[in-house]
A and B are shown apart, each in its own frame.
Chain A
């Protein structure tokens, strides 16, 4: 049923025929029911739009938003927007525009924002702006020679690189952050290219993030599937104990669990001391502050996300199917492969997808139990959000991560079907 104005069509029916009355009352009842449905849905809809859709849109916006130069140096940015940096020299008016902009912005937050933004383009630009703005009020601009004035303050103003960077960052929306999140940048010629070799980091980090998440997911499925199958078949007390064993760590704080692993796995830790006292090893194994540590701890934390959907799915597979297959002469392995496993695919894919999505956003655990080589993308999002307060960069990296998860979801839904993933089928 569409939501076209029901009343008007009803009225027409009512005047024309008698059965319209019935139809009308049915419509009315349905309308009431629909209103109740919407009313019940309202909290959810409001919640998702305020706490999910809105932040998401803000994030998309922040990744391209570029207001700092326009509001910090309005005259200069307007003037530079018409400057053809490739063919013509910098117009002298740009110098006087910048001088008046800097004088105007001095002491205001806009100046700090301007300096911060420009420093992303060329490091050192921040101090150049702050220094110039600080020195300008003391200098007289009688001769009208703004150019000389700026040159006197700092000879970096003679370098057109700075002016090109100023022009480049004068646009209302910028591709800077999104490009930087992929180790790309717009160079002084206006072309898109890779950043210097030693500055390239995010593509590597992205690949590493996806690799770690994939490996963790596979290990979780490999451990989780037999565990779930055992829970389905075992006698009830055993199932309860297994369930508790899975859920207890799930209910413990993440940091407490991570610290417990550090105590257990470190060089003088419980595990190494145990093995040494048994005489199995002579030197302690390096189990933590490397990739081994990250995998051990992440698998432990994420195992419930894999086990529970699979367990739920396996519970609904009727027992007699396997009995039927063996009564028809199939080997148990054959029965498992052609009956049990295909029926449990929805559980595996739901568990796998859930584990992967949670794993891909991890950053505290890898930074506590991994080495520098296991830093994941989430770490950099947190770094830019909190430490350097570069929210554009944080948003751009967030978008990259989001696109990866969405891509994976799309792939999974094409190969496995959305209905199966949602558990409807």
Chain B
């Protein structure tokens, strides 16, 4: 009998406890809607997303925006879709990964007609499974302490280690590196992929890289080239224009070699099967607004996808965007379809080449 009472007591107190807990949790659930998870590439780029898009969105719509970052690839999204446990909603992706993921059914197709500001956007910003987030660019830069104002200004000069001695930084991957080699070898940007598609063109790119090989230090994350310039490890390097500009905003003086820049667009994608799809569209709409995009470019100078946003940007800022007409001399738009076809075999050849001494 005694035992029974104590059990009753226990049940009672548990019940009371759970009801207290329930009371505590009700306001939390009630006040905010289901949070949305957005994933970007981190670093200063993510900071710009945060202050231009995620934070104001969260305030305006009273929604928690959970941020995560990753380094590219879509293994995680694929695993999420395959297991049906989707924890990411809106994800930044680069173009060729977006296309591959889209083909494999990992992303939601974008319903353009449901985007409020679709007409204001640059038409190239729409892909089957993505909406353009921004235009980035790979450019050359050099150490002003070493060369003053007279450093290597394009890829051809980048190869000249007699006039501008010191190590060179390039990204350790065939994509962009082979293009840079061909540009340095005098191939016009309009013909570049035609040349690179042929076996002779590939040999030519590797031969050109061979000339510079002993001087190259390979970087892998976007922050490395600028750290290395500062640390004196390299005297000239390739780097993302946004990273250079952010460093310059913080007091550095790295010149941007726009001649022969390689540019491409990054996209916002929605993971297939997410429950937050309406919220994702709402956030997409918000990020397409000209005033938010302006704010983004002020934080990190990447090209914008809303044409109206470009009209309200100050000239000083416009001139350091990859999309500015003055910066488009010999510019090369990266061909994602070329890389989808050739990435694995060129990666293998590149890896084999890069590790030979």
Contact = CB atoms under 8 A, between A and B. Distances in A.
Interface of A: 108-109, 111-113, 115-116, 119-120, 123-127, 130, 198-201, 204-205, 208, 266-269, 289, 367, 371-373, 375, 380, 383, 385-391
19 contacts: A112-B105, A116-B103, A127-B341, A199-B348, A205-B351, A266-B233, A267-B231, A268-B233, A269-B231, A289-B233, A372-B172, A372-B354, A372-B355, A375-B351, A375-B355, A387-B72, A389-B75, A389-B100, A391-B75
B279 to A, nearest CB: 24
A386 B355 CA distance: 21
For the complex of A and B, 9 pairs with smallest distance between CB atoms: A109-B105, A112-B103, A386-B73, A112-B104, A372-B354, A201-B352, A268-B232, A123-B345, A387-B73
A119 B211 CA distance: 31
A120 B344 contact: yes
Interface in B311-357: 337, 340-349, 351-357
A383 B347 CA distance: 10
**Interface residues of A: mostly helix, strand, loop or mixed?**
helix
Contacts of B106: 109
Interface in B85-127: 100, 102-106
B212 interface: no
Given A127-B341, A389-B75, 11 more contacts: A108-B105, A112-B105, A116-B104, A120-B344, A124-B342, A126-B340, A198-B353, A289-B233, A372-B218, A385-B73, A385-B75
A373 B352 CA distance: 9
Interface of B: 71-75, 78, 100, 102-106, 172, 217-218, 220, 231-233, 337, 340-349, 351-357
B340 A199 contact: no
Contacts of A201: 348, 351-352, 355
A269 B74 CA distance: 37
B82 to A, nearest CB: 10
B344 A198 contact: no
A293 B170 CA distance: 19
Contacts of B353: 198
Given A386-B73, A389-B78, A113 B104 contact: yes
Given A385-B75, A390-B344, A199 B100 contact: no
Given A124-B342, A387-B72, A267 B355 contact: no
Contact of A127 (B220, B231, B340): B340
A93 to B, nearest CB: 27
B172 A389 contact: no
B100 A116 contact: yes
Nearest to B218: A372
Given A198-B349, A201-B348, A205-B355, A267 B218 contact: no
Given A112-B105, A116-B103, A289-B233, A123 B354 contact: no
A267 B344 CA distance: 34
A370 B342 CA distance: 27
Nearest to A119: B341
Nearest to B224: A368
Contacts of A127: 337, 340-341
A383 to B, nearest CB: 8
A199 B349 CA distance: 5
Contact of A119 (B75, B344, B348, B351): B344
A66 to B, nearest CB: 16
Contact of B357 (A200, A267, A373, A388): A373
Contacts of B103: 109, 111-112, 115-116, 130
Contacts of A199: 345, 348-349, 352
Contacts of A113: 104
Nearest to B81: A109
A116 B220 CA distance: 25
